[in-house]
């Protein structure tokens, strides 16, 4: 495990798990939300985002946390390991609600509300996004894959220590 993707529904625990991976393995962690969003809640251009992603790909080791469907196939081509969070909707909604008002290292601002559009995106994630994710994973069966369907499965996963 040297080039890792952590993907899945918002609120599922991806970023928390990605931090555990970083802390245990010593691999550098990159949050796609930080590449895409600016602190003033605007976004960078697709070209800027793609350039930042290409810079990460040039490194020998990394963890990339986040979805961004437009670049998923490219990220799958570059990685060796994928962790997919496919948790129940109620868990994802609760995860987002729990982080409202909390400073997080994976976002450039503090969320002060659960925006209705974001709730809608999460509500339909398993219908609109997961089928494509699973189809892309099928095309990239050479990758090591772990799928979590619950927080208990995630918590039970034994992360290997950093290699010497």
pTM: predicted TM-score of the whole model, two decimal places: 0.94
> How much is the pLDDT for 163?
63
> How much is the pLDDT for 164?
47
**Could you tell me the mean pLDDT of each successive run of 10 residues in the chain, 164 residues long?**
97 96 96 95 96 97 95 97 98 96 90 94 96 97 97 93 65
Count Cβ atoms below 10 Å from residue 57 Cβ, excluding itself.
14
């Amino acid at each position: 495990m040297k080039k890792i993707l952590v993907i899945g529904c918002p609120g599922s625990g991806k970023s928390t798990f990605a931090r555990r991976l970083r802390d245990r393995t010593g691999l550098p962690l990159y949050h796609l939300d930080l590449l895409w969003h600016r602190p003033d809640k605007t976004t960078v251009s697709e070209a800027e985002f793609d350039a930042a992603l290409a810079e990460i790909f040039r490194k020998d080791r990394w963890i990339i946390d986040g979805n961004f469907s437009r670049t998923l196939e490219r990220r799958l081509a570059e990685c060796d390991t994928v962790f997919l969070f496919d948790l129940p909707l109620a868990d994802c909604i609760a995860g987002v609600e729990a982080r409202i008002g909390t400073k997080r290292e994976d976002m450039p601002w503090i969320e002060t509300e659960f925006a209705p559009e974001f709730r809608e995106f999460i509500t339909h994630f398993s219908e609109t996004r997961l089928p494509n994710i699973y189809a892309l994973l099928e095309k990239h069966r050479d990758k090591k894959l772990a799928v979590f369907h619950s927080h208990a499965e995630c918590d039970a996963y034994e992360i290997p220590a950093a290699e010497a």
